[in-house]
Structure 1
């Protein structure tokens, strides 16, 4: 098995929204804001090469939205999905599976693109299966008012129309489920319903793709919860459970949205679970 970090693009979001009720005087210590109160973020995906299977976890925002849409997210840097794949000798057509932690636009937008004459949409990975779960799919296609702006129909419905959509199993009791792709999934419901956190066994290590359960290093303290979370009190419980498990078992936490920290480990302290070590992906992969 080989693992590759894939940078699908950098962007910015409002720091207050990213940290909810936490005062700026606290969160700016780890995530400094610019003059517009925006903080640096990224869409760091993960590519898993395992035999004949090439699995991409999440796909970033994509490039089909309008200039007005992208102007809200202050994109920066030269990274994109295609150049990142090319760096490791791959193209979109090589991808066999796209695993979507959840269907917010910054995680699944890259799955769908315009067709050649821009009259409609098509999948950006023509040879891939797209993995979600039934509960989250229903949640995303019948969105609540709070999340409606994050679940864009043009990102989601063409996947189903393509016939390439697959659903992974949902645990009946415990929070962990073995996926059809060979890795375990931690299901979390605080950010959005049935978000999936992959746990990948790699050379004796466990790599946890953190998605929006832990967006950045700055979100390690349990009360530091995004304003975007639909059930923030549930996020508190899920973060505490997962981070304790990560500290106990020395998980390597792959951070999808932290623009400046790729992988971390955590440890137990008197103040709770805190940062242990920081790594770049080449240190681990």
Structure 2
């Protein structure tokens, strides 16, 4: 097995929305805001090469939305999904499986692209199976008003229409479900219904792909919960359970959205679980 970080592009989000009720004077220390109150966000995905299977976990915003849409998110940097795949000798047609932690646009927008004459949409990974879970699919395709702007039908429905949609089967009652893709999954419901946190056994380490359970290192304190979370009071115990397990098992946390900290470990302190060490992807994944 080999793991590769896939940088699909950086953007910015409102710092207040990212930290909910936490005052700016506090979160600005770890996540400095610009003059528009925006903080740096990454869309760092993970590619797993395991035998003949090439699995991409999440795929960023994609590039099919309007200039007005992308204007809301202040794109920055030079990363792209295709350039990042090419860096490691891959093309999107090589991908056999797309695993989507959840279906918010910044995690699944790259799943679907315009067709050649821009008259409709087509899947962007023509040879891949697309994986979500049935509960989350139902949640995303019949969105509540709070999340409707994050669940864009053009990112989601073409996957089903292509016949490439598959559902992960969940083992009820287990902390970690072993998926069809060969890695464990921790299900959480605070951010959105049945978001999936992959746990990948790699060499002598457990790599956990954090999605939106821990957006940045600045979100380690339990009450530091995003305003985007649908059930913030549930996020806190879910995060606590995960972080306690991360300390006990020395998990390596792959940070999808932290633009400046790629992989971290955590430890118990008198203030709770906090960052122990930070690594570049090359240090851990090579």
TM-score by length of 2: 0.99
1:55-93 superposed Cα distances (whole Å, 9 cap, x missing partner): 000000000000000000000000000000000000000
- Give the match's secondary structure for 1:9: coil
1:2 corresponds in structure 2 to: 2
1:239 corresponds in structure 2 to: 239
- Give the match's secondary structure for 2:113: strand
Q: What does 1:123-202 align with in structure 2 at a 5 Å threshold?
A: 123-202=123-202
Q: What does 1:79-158 align with in structure 2 at a 5 Å threshold?
A: 79-158=79-158
Q: CA deviation at 1:171?
A: 2.9
Q: What does 1:31-50 align with in structure 2 at a 5 Å threshold?
A: 31-50=31-50
Q: CA deviation at 1:202?
A: 0.2
2-structure distance, mates of 1:67, 1:162: 27
Question: What is the total number of aligned residue pairs between the two structures?
Answer: 285
Give unpaired runs (5+ residues) of structure 2.
none
2-structure distance, mates of 1:177, 1:189: 15
Q: CA deviation at 1:30?
A: 0.4
In the alignment, structure 1 residue 272 sits paired with structure 2 residue 264:
no
2-structure distance, mates of 1:141, 1:32: 35
2:11 corresponds in structure 1 to: 11
2-structure distance, mates of 1:183, 1:171: 13
- Give the match's secondary structure for 2:259: coil
Q: CA deviation at 1:148?
A: 0.2
1:22 corresponds in structure 2 to: 22
- Give the match's secondary structure for 2:276: strand
2:259 corresponds in structure 1 to: 259
1-structure distance, mates of 2:171, 2:51: 27
Larger displacement relative to structure 2 (172-181 or 136-145)? 172-181
C-alpha RMSD of the superposition? 0.5
1-structure distance, mates of 2:176, 2:159: 26
- Give the match's secondary structure for 1:181: coil
Segments of 4+ in structure 1 off by > 2 A? none
2-structure distance, mates of 1:237, 1:145: 25
2-structure distance, mates of 1:231, 1:171: 23
- Give the match's secondary structure for 2:42: strand
Give unpaired runs (5+ residues) of structure 1.
none
TM-score by length of 1: 0.99
- Give the match's secondary structure for 1:26: helix
1-structure distance, mates of 2:280, 2:224: 24
2-structure distance, mates of 1:169, 1:237: 24
In the alignment, structure 1 residue 223 sits paired with structure 2 residue 223:
yes
- Give the match's secondary structure for 1:144: coil
